[in-house]
Chain A
Amino acid sequence: MKYNRLLIVVIVILMMACITSFVFAEIKNPDTIIYATPGGPESLDPHWAYDTASGEIIYQTYDNLINYKGGSTSEFVPMLSTQVPSVENGLVKDNGFTYIFPIRKDVKFHNGDILTPEDVVYSFKRAMIFDRSGGPVWMLIEPLLGAYGIEDVVVDTLGVENYSDLFVNGDPRGELKSEHKAAMTKIFTDKIDKTVEVDGDNVVFHLAQAYGPFLNILAHCGNWSSIIDKKWAIEQGAWDGKADTWWKYHDPENEKDPLYAVENGTGPFVVKKWVPEEILILERFDDYWNGPAKIKNVQFKYVTEYTTRKLMLQTGDADIAYIPVQYLSEVEKIEGVEVTKNLPTLANVVSMFPWTINAEGNSYIGSGKLDGEGIPPDFFSDIHVRKGFSYLFPYDIFIAKVAKGMAIRNPGPIPKGILGFSEDPELYYEFSLLKAKEEFMKAWNGELWEKGCKFNIFYNEGNDVRKAASDMLSQYAKMVNPKFVLTPIGVQWSSYLKAFLTEKLPIFTIGWLADYPDPHNWAPVYMGSNGDYSSFFGEAYREFARENVDPLLEQGLKETDKEKRAEIYKELTRIAHDQAISIYAYQPGGNHVQRTWVKGWYYNPIMPGEPAGADFYNLTKGE
Chain B
Amino acid sequence: MNRILKKLFSNITSLMGIIILIFFIIIAIFAPAITPPLSDDPYQIPRMSWDINPQPPGSPMSDNMIEAYEFMEKEVKWEKAICGTAEGGYDIFYGLIWGTRTAFKIGIITVSISMLIGIILGSVSAYFGGWIDEILMRITDIFLSFPFLVAAMVLTTVLGRGLDKVMIALISFGWMGYARLIRGSILATKEETYVMAAKALGVNDTKIIWKHLLPNTIFPVMVQGSMNIGSMVITAAALSFLGVGAPVGYADWGQMVSFARNWIIGSPGNAGQYWYAVFYPGIFIVLFVLSWNLIGDTLRDILDPRLRGEL
Interface residues of A (CB under 8 A from B): 305-307, 310-311, 314, 325-327, 329-330, 333-335, 397-398, 401-402, 404, 461-462, 464, 467-468, 471-472, 475-476, 478-479, 482, 490-492, 495
Contacts of A329 in B (CB 8 A): 53, 267
B223-279 residues with Cβ-Cβ distance < 8 A to A are 243, 247-249, 261-262, 264-270
B128 in the interface (beta carbon within 8 A)? no
Contacts of A492 in B (CB 8 A): 160-161
CB distance from B206 to the nearest CB of A (A): 41
Binds A, one of B64-72, B147-155, B190-198: B64-72
**CB-defined A-B contacts under 8 Å, sample of 9:** A307-B261, A307-B264, A329-B53, A330-B266, A334-B268, A401-B52, A464-B52, A475-B72, A492-B160
| A314→B68 contact, CB < 8 A | no
B49-80 residues with Cβ-Cβ distance < 8 A to A are 49-53, 64, 68, 71-72
| A490→B248 contact, CB < 8 A | yes
| B53→A401 contact, CB < 8 A | no
**Residue on B nearest A327 in the bound complex, by CB:** B262
Contacts of B50 in A (CB 8 A): 397-398, 401-402, 468, 472
Given the known interface contacts A306-B262, A335-B268, A482-B72, the answer about A490 and B161 at a Cβ–Cβ threshold of 8 Å is yes
Interface residues of B (CB under 8 A from A): 47, 49-53, 64, 68, 71-72, 87-88, 160-161, 243, 247-249, 261-262, 264-270
Q: A325-B52, A401-B49, A479-B68 are in contact. List 19 more A-B contacts (CB 8 A).
A: A306-B262, A307-B261, A307-B262, A307-B265, A311-B265, A329-B267, A333-B267, A333-B268, A333-B269, A333-B270, A334-B268, A461-B248, A464-B87, A467-B88, A468-B88, A476-B68, A490-B247, A492-B160, A495-B160
How many residue pairs between the two chains, A and B, have CB atoms under 8 Å in the bound complex? 66
Contacts of A461 in B (CB 8 A): 161, 247-248
**Residue on B nearest A401 in the bound complex, by CB:** B50
Interchain CA distance A401-B297 in the complex, whole Å: 49
Contacts of B53 in A (CB 8 A): 326, 329
Interchain CA distance A482-B74 in the complex, whole Å: 13
| B52→A462 contact, CB < 8 A | no
**Residue on B nearest A485 in the bound complex, by CB:** B40
CB distance from B60 to the nearest CB of A (A): 15
Contacts of B64 in A (CB 8 A): 397
Interchain CA distance A475-B70 in the complex, whole Å: 12
Contacts of B87 in A (CB 8 A): 326, 464
Interchain CA distance A478-B49 in the complex, whole Å: 17
User: Which one of B51, B87, B247, B267 has the highest number of Cβ atoms from chain A below 10 Å of its Cβ?
Assistant: B267
Contacts of B262 in A (CB 8 A): 305-307, 327
Q: Pick from B68, B71, B72, B88: contact of A464, CB below 8 A.
A: B88
Interchain CA distance A462-B72 in the complex, whole Å: 27
Contacts of B249 in A (CB 8 A): 467
**Residue on A nearest B52 in the bound complex, by CB:** A326
**Residue on A nearest B41 in the bound complex, by CB:** A487
CB distance from A490 to the nearest CB of B (A): 5
| B68→A401 contact, CB < 8 A | no
Given the known interface contacts A306-B262, A404-B52, A491-B160, the answer about A464 and B248 at a Cβ–Cβ threshold of 8 Å is yes
**Residue on B nearest A461 in the bound complex, by CB:** B161
CB distance from A468 to the nearest CB of B (A): 6
Interchain CA distance A314-B71 in the complex, whole Å: 46
| B264→A314 contact, CB < 8 A | no
Q: Pick from B248, B261, B267: contact of A330, CB below 8 A.
A: B267
**Residue on A nearest B269 in the bound complex, by CB:** A333
**Residue on A nearest B159 in the bound complex, by CB:** A492
Contacts of B72 in A (CB 8 A): 475, 478-479, 482
| A467→B248 contact, CB < 8 A | yes
Which 4 residue pairs of A and B lie closest in terms of their CB atoms, listed nearest first? Answer: A401-B50, A326-B52, A330-B267, A333-B267
Interchain CA distance A330-B53 in the complex, whole Å: 10
Contacts of B49 in A (CB 8 A): 401
| B52→A402 contact, CB < 8 A | yes
Contacts of A478 in B (CB 8 A): 72
Interchain CA distance A482-B243 in the complex, whole Å: 34
| A310→B265 contact, CB < 8 A | yes
Interchain CA distance A469-B247 in the complex, whole Å: 16
| B47→A471 contact, CB < 8 A | yes
CB distance from A488 to the nearest CB of B (A): 10
**Residue on A nearest B249 in the bound complex, by CB:** A467
**Residue on B nearest A487 in the bound complex, by CB:** B40
Contacts of B71 in A (CB 8 A): 479
CB distance from A457 to the nearest CB of B (A): 14
CB distance from A496 to the nearest CB of B (A): 11
Interchain CA distance A311-B267 in the complex, whole Å: 10
CB distance from B41 to the nearest CB of A (A): 9
CB distance from B157 to the nearest CB of A (A): 8
Interchain CA distance A63-B182 in the complex, whole Å: 70
User: Which one of B47, B52, B68, B262 has the highest number of Cβ atoms from chain A below 10 Å of its Cβ?
Assistant: B52
Interchain CA distance A476-B264 in the complex, whole Å: 33
Interchain CA distance A305-B241 in the complex, whole Å: 13
Interchain CA distance A23-B133 in the complex, whole Å: 63
Contacts of A334 in B (CB 8 A): 267-268
Interchain CA distance A478-B161 in the complex, whole Å: 26
Contacts of B264 in A (CB 8 A): 307
| A401→B51 contact, CB < 8 A | yes
Interchain CA distance A335-B243 in the complex, whole Å: 32
**Residue on B nearest A311 in the bound complex, by CB:** B265
Contacts of B68 in A (CB 8 A): 475-476, 479
Interchain CA distance A401-B275 in the complex, whole Å: 22
**Residue on B nearest A308 in the bound complex, by CB:** B265
Interchain CA distance A461-B71 in the complex, whole Å: 28
Contacts of B267 in A (CB 8 A): 329-330, 333-334
Contacts of A471 in B (CB 8 A): 47
**Residue on B nearest A400 in the bound complex, by CB:** B50
Interchain CA distance A314-B267 in the complex, whole Å: 10
Interchain CA distance A468-B49 in the complex, whole Å: 11
| A462→B266 contact, CB < 8 A | no
Interchain CA distance A467-B87 in the complex, whole Å: 12
Interchain CA distance A461-B249 in the complex, whole Å: 11
Contacts of B88 in A (CB 8 A): 464, 467-468
Given the known interface contacts A306-B262, A475-B68, the answer about A314 and B268 at a Cβ–Cβ threshold of 8 Å is yes
CB distance from B44 to the nearest CB of A (A): 10
CB distance from A474 to the nearest CB of B (A): 9
**Residue on A nearest B266 in the bound complex, by CB:** A330
Interchain CA distance A468-B47 in the complex, whole Å: 10
**Residue on A nearest B62 in the bound complex, by CB:** A401
Contacts of A335 in B (CB 8 A): 268
Interchain CA distance A305-B51 in the complex, whole Å: 22
**Residue on A nearest B72 in the bound complex, by CB:** A478
Contacts of A464 in B (CB 8 A): 52, 87-88, 248
**Residue on A nearest B262 in the bound complex, by CB:** A306
| B160→A462 contact, CB < 8 A | no
Interchain CA distance A327-B50 in the complex, whole Å: 15
CB distance from B242 to the nearest CB of A (A): 12
CB distance from A471 to the nearest CB of B (A): 7
Interchain CA distance A307-B52 in the complex, whole Å: 16
